[in-house]
Amino acid sequence: MELNNEGFYLKALNAFFFRNRKKSPLYKAFQEEFPDLWETYFESLFRSTGYLPLYDLVNEIYHLYRVFDHFKEEETTLVKILEVIKNFEGEGRNNPGDFLKYASDEEAGESDWTMDVPAGIDAVKVMTIHKAKGLGFPVAILLIYEEISRGFKYILDEEADGVQLLKINQQIMKASSFLQERYEEERLKDLVNKLNTLYVGFTRAEDELYIIGVQGKRSQFPIDLLQFMDSPVGSKSAPRPRSLETTQERMEIDHPPAPAQFPFSAVEDLNLEERRRGEFIHRVLSFVDTLDENTESELERIIQRVNHEMKTDYSPEAMKKSLLEFLNHQEVSPYFKPFQGTVIKKEQDFSDARGNLFRMDRVIVEEDRVSVVDYKTGADKEAEKVYVSQLKNYTRILKDIYPGRKVEGVMAYVDLKEMIKVM
């Protein structure tokens, strides 16, 4: 077969993959059936694997396949892949298999793969609700799917005399009032977490918000909320040209009705300003690595930047003074001091054994210990028991990820200048 006979090759490759779809390893069969293709496009790379550093190997792939010539519009993505590989190698890992697992299992946080664009550029940003926390956009399109409630794999019951793992479903909970109470507590806690996530998504839009709900068979959460808000759920009508719309229809599109009140009495009214201020402080602290002689001037610059991002007008001087008092507090400052060999992860997502993602404010990884710092704003400490339980969960996750290291959890009350440690 001639290498320039692309049409013939595509048909031959399609037939080859169909015949050998159950063979392992597939590359050996490919090498035997297409020796010229193997020699030209794979042999040199195959021999280099395990000898060349991963970064250099990927560069060879880029060069051999001329990816920058063939995919000019994807140049930013291709460069980002090299950047992630460089950071991956900086952690002492260099195996292609480890990197593929690192990428496919979402071990890396969203921030590792995010391609930032200059502020103010006319571009569409695609991100998860968690990633969008603290940010605002002129127009936001929120895509939500109906969730199927499958109960809880287990329920963690923490009491003064110890911790229990309870296996409870809707049938088992009927056996006693104790089990029913624990199940309802977990269900309500899960509902509040989901509502908080929706709240973040609903409040990212500055001018226009469009919500697209993918409805299933049962119209469960959160689709039921859209139905309660009298939204046209399930409509698949093709949009008409703007010129055919009446003035009244345009007014209805451009000026949606006031937000409906969610019918959940257990969820207290949210203090919007307090929550907004908390998001602002979290965003500012996410830019702080360590403390040095430039911290004060750098902090003022960060506050101005976040004010611009979030369209807020907090006083840089007052906010800087408050945050400096917090950062320089004798119990807080040790977690912001530079130490050689220390890795600091900010706003990083970590996965538990069930695949649930948890975004941690600040994780400090040292040779023999790991510390997770969780920021809290405001003066209300009524929910401290819930916060401590959440922090304990963080330490359990990090203990699994960094076995053999001492793991410490720290609750940092920014406004109260108080610290609570959880081992």
Is the pLDDT assigned to residue 250 strictly greater than 80?
A: no
Three-state DSSP class for residue 211: strand
Q: What is the rounded CA–CA span in Å between residue 276 and residue 265?
A: 22
Beta bridge partners of 422: 409
Residue with tokens 């979402």: 106
Share of the chain above pLDDT 70, in %: 79
The number of residues in the chain equals 423
Residue pair 398/351 in contact (Cβ under 8 Å)? The answer is no
Residue pair 144/222 in contact (Cβ under 8 Å)? The answer is yes
Give me the pLDDT at residue 261, please: 41
Residue pair 179/164 in contact (Cβ under 8 Å)? The answer is no
**Number of other CB atoms surrounding residue 218 within 10 Å:** 12
- Comparing CA positions, the residue from 338, 336, 404, 321 lying closest to residue 373 is 336
Give me the pLDDT at residue 227, please: 61
Q: What is the pLDDT of residues 285-342, one digit of tens each?
A: 999 988 988 888 899 999 999 998 888 889 989 999 999 999 999 999 999 988 888 8
Give me the pLDDT at residue 310, please: 86
pLDDT band at 131 (very low <50, low <70, confident <90, very high): confident
Q: What is the pLDDT of residues 133-173, one digit of tens each?
A: 778 888 999 888 887 766 667 677 766 667 777 777 777 77
Give me the pLDDT at residue 299, please: 92
More confident residue, 60 or 134: 60
8-12, 97-101, 335-339: least confident range: 8-12
pLDDT band at 253 (very low <50, low <70, confident <90, very high): very low
pLDDT band at 275 (very low <50, low <70, confident <90, very high): confident
Give me the pLDDT at residue 274, please: 82
Q: Does domain 272-422 have CATH number 3.90.320.10?
A: yes
Three-state DSSP class for residue 37: helix
Give me the pLDDT at residue 72, please: 86
* 234 φψ region: left (φ > 0), alpha (ψ -120 to 50), beta (else): left
Report the mean per-residue pLDDT for the chain.
78
Residue pair 209/142 in contact (Cβ under 8 Å)? The answer is yes
Q: What is the mean pLDDT of residues 32-57?
A: 88
Distances (CA, A) of 53 to 81, 96, 141, 278: 15, 9, 41, 43
Q: What is the mean pLDDT of residues 392-399?
A: 90
Give me the pLDDT at residue 255, please: 38
> First CA to last CA across the chain, in angstroms?
66
More confident residue, 229 or 139: 139
Q: What is the mean pLDDT of residues 258-281?
A: 59
More confident residue, 230 or 129: 129
Taking the complete model, does pTM exceed 0.75, yes or no? no
Domain locations in the chain as residue ranges: 6-113, 136-254, 272-422
Give me the pLDDT at residue 6, please: 56
- Comparing CA positions, the residue from 136, 98, 143, 109 lying closest to residue 357 is 109
Give me the pLDDT at residue 93, please: 81
Q: In 159-271, which ranges are continuous DSSP H helix?
A: 177-202, 223-228, 247-254
pLDDT band at 420 (very low <50, low <70, confident <90, very high): confident
Give me the pLDDT at residue 370, please: 93
23-27, 44-48, 58-62: least confident range: 23-27
